[in-house]
Amino acid sequence: MKQQMVSGRTSRTMMLVVVAILSLVFSACAAQSSAPAADEKFVFGLVLVGPINDGGWSQAHYDSAKYIESKTPGSQMVYVDKVNPADRPNVKVEQVVDELIAKGAKLIITTSDDFKDGTREAAKAHPDVTFVHASGDDVITGKAPANLGNLMGRMEYGKMIAGCAAALQSATGNISFIGPLVNDETRRLADSAYLGAKYCWNQRGGDPAALKFNVTWIGFWFNIPGVTLDPTKVVNDFFTAGSDVVISGIDTPEAVVEAGKAQAAGKAVFAVPYDFKEACAKGEAACLGVPYFNWVPSYTKLINDVKGGTWKQEFTMFGPDWADINAVETSGIGFAKGKALTAENATKLDAFIAELAGGLNLWTGPINFQDGTAFLKDGEVATDKQVWYMPQLLEGMEGQSVSK
């Protein structure tokens, strides 16, 4: 038996020494490999809450930025995706922003409601960089430092069109809405979908009492196992409970995927996904169409403004280009019709879109809140602010107006 010169304790020392040496060696490598950003380029940074291929909200941002990169010479996007507590625990928005600025970003666009506090702190820490928080409202509330603006699309129109498509195609008038978490934005959009559905249901001569509009909130913008409700299960529960159209308000495409499967199994059910132009591809046979964000026009303007030094702090709302709501260069909100929408209904939907373009405003009273109190008196038209800070679901909708 050999003499034991090295004990277990010393072996652990060895291990740690090796680890320490390795870290030092590699840190030297890392220091060498960080390249400075080129001067003539304009770098803009994107902070995304979901993955770049989520088939929804985050992909809409990413694809728009990619489009701009390809069209605008010298512009370069840097991004970090999946910035959320499930995918990247311990990573704060401020940290991610630091990394993007280290890559040379002069404009930072953060794209989730949940980045509100982080974006504000990051903007305070980097007064020389322009920040835009998409879906935030710090400019309205007065909390924004001078270098932070807000940007959001008038998705109310997209949701109205979505609701209309659902009401046109539904055989039963039993429509469901799968929502993320309950807040002003999500209530506003669920309400818009309901208004569109109600209008088109009545237009086609449906019994007003037969229209059912049920809202279920899963708890977050996408599925987080163990934390949110499982959207796949929620959608299937809708179908089981008798809905034949599901409108999605979440970032990911479970609704259209499950509706596609149910169609394949012989059920006449449909879905309207959300956010991303190509979302119908995940379940074409069941897809009535998708209201989507096209960030190309607004991002292009932002980049030009920041580059040219003409950027001003603003709360910017952009909408569809009514001349052609699907024009890439000009329309910020679009609606891509799906294959499942019948030709007859497609014509009716176009007529509805034309009415909206002609000035039809569904936010016109009388409209009551879910609890029966009056929101808009007869003939009263809601202001942008009233719509933005939507406190409740509307009368006629089922589901929670506030989270429990």
Partner 1 sequence: MKTQFVALRTPVIAMGVALAVTAVLLLLAGADVLAAFGVLLGGALTTPSRISDMLMLLAPLLLCAVGLTASFAAGQYNLGIEGQMTVGGVAAMWWLRGYQDGSPVILYWIGAVLCGMLMGAVWAMLVALLKRYMHVSEIFAGLGFNFVALGLALYLVFGPWKRPGVASMSGTEPLADALWLPTLTGTRLTLITPILAIVMLAIVWRLIRHTHWGLQVRACGLSALASVRMGVPATRRTFEAMALCGACAGMAGALQIIGVYHSLVPNVASGIGLMGLLVALLVRADVRWVALVAFFFAIITSGSIQLPLALSIDSSISGVLQGLIVLAIIVARARRGEDAA
Contacts of 302 (CB under 8 A, 6+ apart): 44, 107, 109, 132, 151, 311
Q: How far apart are CA 267 and CA 262, in angstroms?
A: 5
Q: Which residues pair with 354 in a beta bridge?
A: none
Q: How far apart are CA 323 and CA 111, in angstroms?
A: 27
Cβ count within 10 A of residue 40: 6
| CB of 20 vs partner 1, minimal distance in Å | 7
* Residue at token pair 């940290």: 95
CB 366 within 8 A of CB 378: yes
10 binds partner 1 (CB under 8 A): yes
Pairing of strands 333-337, 289-293: antiparallel
Sole binder of partner 1 in the list 3, 70, 240, 310 (CB under 8 A): 3
Interacting residues with partner 1 between 200 and 239 (CB under 8 A): 219-220, 226-227
Determine if the peptide bond prior to 366 is cis (ω within 30°): yes
Nearer to partner 1 among residue 7 and residue 240 (C-beta): 7
Helical packing angle, 343-357 and 155-169, nearest 10° = 150
181 binds partner 1 (CB under 8 A): yes
107 binds partner 1 (CB under 8 A): no
Sole binder of partner 1 in the list 145, 319, 365, 391 (CB under 8 A): 391
| CB of 102 vs partner 1, minimal distance in Å | 7
* # residues contacting partner 1 (CB under 8 A): 68
Nearer to partner 1 among residue 131 and residue 199 (C-beta): 131
| CB of 62 vs partner 1, minimal distance in Å | 13
27 binds partner 1 (CB under 8 A): yes
Interacting residues with partner 1 between 111 and 140 (CB under 8 A): 113-118, 125
385 binds partner 1 (CB under 8 A): no
CB 150 within 8 A of CB 132: yes
Residue 395 structure tokens: 């009368």
30 binds partner 1 (CB under 8 A): yes
Nearer to partner 1 among residue 16 and residue 146 (C-beta): 16
CB 403 within 8 A of CB 229: no
CB 349 within 8 A of CB 164: yes
Q: Which x/- pattern over 66-85 shows residues binding partner 1 (rule: CB under 8 A)?
A: ------------x-xx--xx
The residues binding partner 1 (CB under 8 A) are 1-8, 10-12, 14-16, 18-20, 22-31, 33-34, 78, 80-81, 84-86, 88-92, 94-96, 98-100, 102-103, 113-118, 125, 181-184, 219-220, 226-227, 389, 391, 402-404
